[in-house]
Amino acid sequence: MKRNIPLILAFLAGLLMIASEFIPHRPFSNMVETLEDWFMIIAGFSIVLGLASLLQMNYQKISTKAENWGYHLSCVIAFALIVIMGALWGMEDQPGLLGQGEKIVSWLGKKPFDYTYDNALVPLSATMFSLLAFFIASAAYRAFIIRTFESNLLMISAVIVILGRTGFGTMLTSWIPESYRIWQLPVLADFIMEYPNTAAQRAILISASLGIIGSSLRIILGIERSYLGGDK
Amino acid sequence: MKRILTILFILSTLTSLLADGAPLFTAKDRPYDKGDAIILEWKLPATIDSLQIQKADSLEVYQPLFIPLEGETSFVDQDLSYDTRYKYRLLALGSADGDSLLLSASAMTKQNWFYMDKLAYLLMLIILSAAIIYYILAAKRGKEFFIRRISGLDSMEEAIGRATEKGKPILFVPGVAELGDIQTLSSLSILSQLAYKAAEYNTEIIVPCRFSMVLSAAREVVEEAYLKAGRSDAFREENIFYLTDDQFGFVAGIDGIIVREEPAANFFLGSFYAESLILAETGLSTGAIQTAGTANAHQLPFFVVSCDYTLIGEELFAASAYLSRDAEQVGSLKGHDFGKLLVIILIIVGVALEIAGISWLKTFLMGAGS
């Protein structure tokens, strides 16, 4: 019974969502929005679960003085600080328990919550994102080492695309006459991106879409139930 | 006979008058939609210089709606409410006095019962679903199907074995999407099989989650797997935890776990975006066996470069069936293969027809059936 009710609900919800894709009439036309609202409400409740998990995990590490427990302490302190700042002075136009906090806003220029968000979270996120530049370089180096026929092809096409996207590439092959312009690096780079690359991407997309249909059908029919925790 | 001839004469005169450039402005409900659009069409004499279409607001006051460019003869007014009458008028200014026109039209939006432009999708869906169900039933009757080897999934046992030997944990990241994403559901299905094997080997499994809903489902999945393996005592709830909703905060958290805990095997399965390479490269730097899988085609190259095994697109969705070896699920994989065959045939036929100058198949599949 514990397993059957979710399976029946998944079956009904799946059928309704498929119907709403093809029927523009009420009640099907607004079914997706309604179910999305339901999802948001449930997700709102589950935030409490997430926060409880976060605090429980960090508390355990701190209380047992596990290795690197200082990191966990700083996480809890940051969490508490941002909650207190948001509760006391609010965020953006929303007032907090102490109102809009005009005094502190005149000192910081923003509400403490917004100040911390803009000056701590945003730069930290940007720092993580910027790591990509270095990782792309090291990954590209490994990918372009010529070991096999395939990596050779990859290397050649990568060089063409990289050069074709720069002014240097244009300069290198600008002498090629118009009747042979396909051999100009920018044109060749566009060709690689537009035809072989798009064809490969579409092949992956088509097969993934078929996989999604099959997976969804297995879930709707209750054949695939391991995401619920058990098989039978 | 005389009467019929008279009617025919009147009709032909009217038709010729309209064809000769009698001004015309019509409004009609867009067919086969959810009642949110009205199609406006007009036909005006060549002496008209400029046009403006106006729409009556709730107080019946006409407000400017659209200024057509030269040569345009239709406009679709969208984002309307269903079962509502809308009034329009067309102001046409001519070069000479007496050339200017004011034409009115109105129409009522109506909800329909079928999106005709999705007929092709519906037919494809019915054919694919029928094929998948047919193969599932065939598998139930005992028919055995061959499925090709997926090395990324075959290596799972090897990765767990290595983690057990080294006494290090396994890291499983179920993507960065919500529970509503089918990739996350597929990922959790793989987690179920992985957790079962980890429980058998008595190896710790760490599952950081980006969303609370995913956390809740992941905990349930791992707990059930441990229970099934008869190792419920080894299940550690605190190993499946929530990190943060913030995309790069989540990445920073996982990178920290990879560097500090040094898991022997990393699994990145689900929906990934810009963080894919950051995660995979950090994992690579610790020397862990890495298996990744996503249907986000633009992230696949990063995983291919940095991971030992990569599940490409559909392999992620096939993983659960492949690992479980359940006859019904394996049967459904054959249905996928049928779908691929169908798509290949459609592509070949479509290309041949286009070369021959016949476009109806392309038009039908692109959703212009209405």
pLDDT digits (tens, 9 = 90+) for B280-314: 999 999 999 999 999 998 899 899 989 999 999 88
Q: Which residues contact A213 (CB under 8 A, 6 or more apart)?
A: B125, B128, B129, B132, B339
Domain assignment of residue A26, yes or no: yes
CATH number of B19-108: 2.60.40.10
| A78 part of contact set with chain B, CB < 8 Å | no
Last residue of a domain, one of A29, A45, A66: A66
Domain assignment of residue A177, yes or no: yes
Domain assignment of residue A221, yes or no: yes
Domain assignment of residue A162, yes or no: yes
User: Would you list the domain boundaries of chain B?
Assistant: 19-108, 145-325
What is the reported pLDDT for A168?
92
Q: Do A50 and B113 touch (CB under 8 A)?
A: no
| ipTM of the complex in this document | 0.87
What is the reported pLDDT for B98?
66
Residues of chain B with Cβ-Cβ distance to A212 below 8 Å are 182, 295, 317
Exposed, middle or buried by CB within 10 Å (0-12, 13-18, 19+), for B310? buried
Whether the Cβ atoms of residue B152 and residue B293 lie closer than 8 Å to each other = yes
Q: Give the pLDDT mean for A192-214.
A: 91
Residue of B86, B80, B75 whose CA lies nearest to B108 = B86
Q: Give the pLDDT mean for B318-324.
A: 84
Give the range among A109-123, A142-156, A180-194 with minimum mean pLDDT.
Answer: A142-156
A153 to chain B, closest Cα gap in Å: 15
Q: Do A43 and B178 touch (CB under 8 A)?
A: yes
- Give per-residue pLDDT as tens, B158-189: 899 999 999 999 999 999 999 889 999 999 99
CA–CA dist B270, B263 (Å, integer): 19
| A122 part of contact set with chain B, CB < 8 Å | no
Q: Give the whole-number percent of chain B exceeding pLDDT 70.
A: 92
- Give the count of Cβ contacts less than 8 A between chain A and B: 211
Predicted confidence band at B17 (pLDDT cuts at 50, 70, 90)?
very low
Question: Within chain A, what is the greatest distance between any pair of CA atoms?
Answer: 76
Domain count, chain A: 2
Q: Are strands B205-209 and B74-77 parallel, antiparallel or unpaired?
A: unpaired
* Residue A115 vs residue A2, higher pLDDT: A115
**Which residue from B minimizes the CA distance to A226?**
B189
Q: Which residues contact B18 (CB under 8 A, 6 or more apart)?
A: B24, B43
Q: Which domain holds residue A24?
A: 1-66
What is the reported pLDDT for B110?
93
CA atoms within 13 A on the CB side of B18: 9
pLDDT at A232 over 60: no
**Which residue from B minimizes the CA distance to A47?**
B212
What is the reported pLDDT for B126?
93
Residues of chain B with Cβ-Cβ distance to A26 below 8 Å are 82, 111
Q: Give the pLDDT mean for B192-217.
A: 93
pLDDT at B14 over 60: no
Q: Are strands B101-108 and B85-94 parallel, antiparallel or unpaired?
A: antiparallel
**Which residue from B minimizes the CA distance to A71?**
B256
Give the range among A42-51, B268-277, B298-307 with minimum mean pLDDT.
Answer: A42-51
pLDDT at A159 over 70: yes
Neighbours of A103 (CB within 10 A): 10
Residues constituting chain B:
370
Residues of chain B with Cβ-Cβ distance to A18 below 8 Å are 125
Whether the Cβ atoms of residue B26 and residue B105 lie closer than 8 Å to each other = yes
Domain assignment of residue A231, yes or no: yes
Q: Give the whole-number percent of chain A exceeding pLDDT 90.
A: 49
- Show which of residues 8-27 on chain A sit within 8 Å of chain B, judged by CB atoms: 18, 21-26
Last residue of a domain, one of A18, A51, A66: A66
For the sheet containing B240-242, what is the strand order?
B240-242, B205-209, B170-173, B265-269, B289-294, B309-312
What is the reported pLDDT for B11?
55
Q: In the CATH hierarchy, which fold is given to the domain comprising B145-325?
A: Rossmann fold (3.40.50)
Residue B58 in 3-state DSSP?
A: coil
pLDDT at B3 over 70: no
What is the reported pLDDT for B4?
63
Domain assignment of residue A114, yes or no: no
Residues of chain B with Cβ-Cβ distance to A21 below 8 Å are 115, 118, 121
> Which residue among A53, A131, A143 places its CB closest to the CB of B242?
A53
Q: Distances in Å between the alpha carbon of B123 and those of A20, B117, B340, B354?
A: 16, 12, 15, 21
Last residue of a domain, one of A66, A85, A107: A66
Residue B257 in 3-state DSSP?
A: helix
Token duo for residue A34: 């309604």
pLDDT at B15 over 60: no
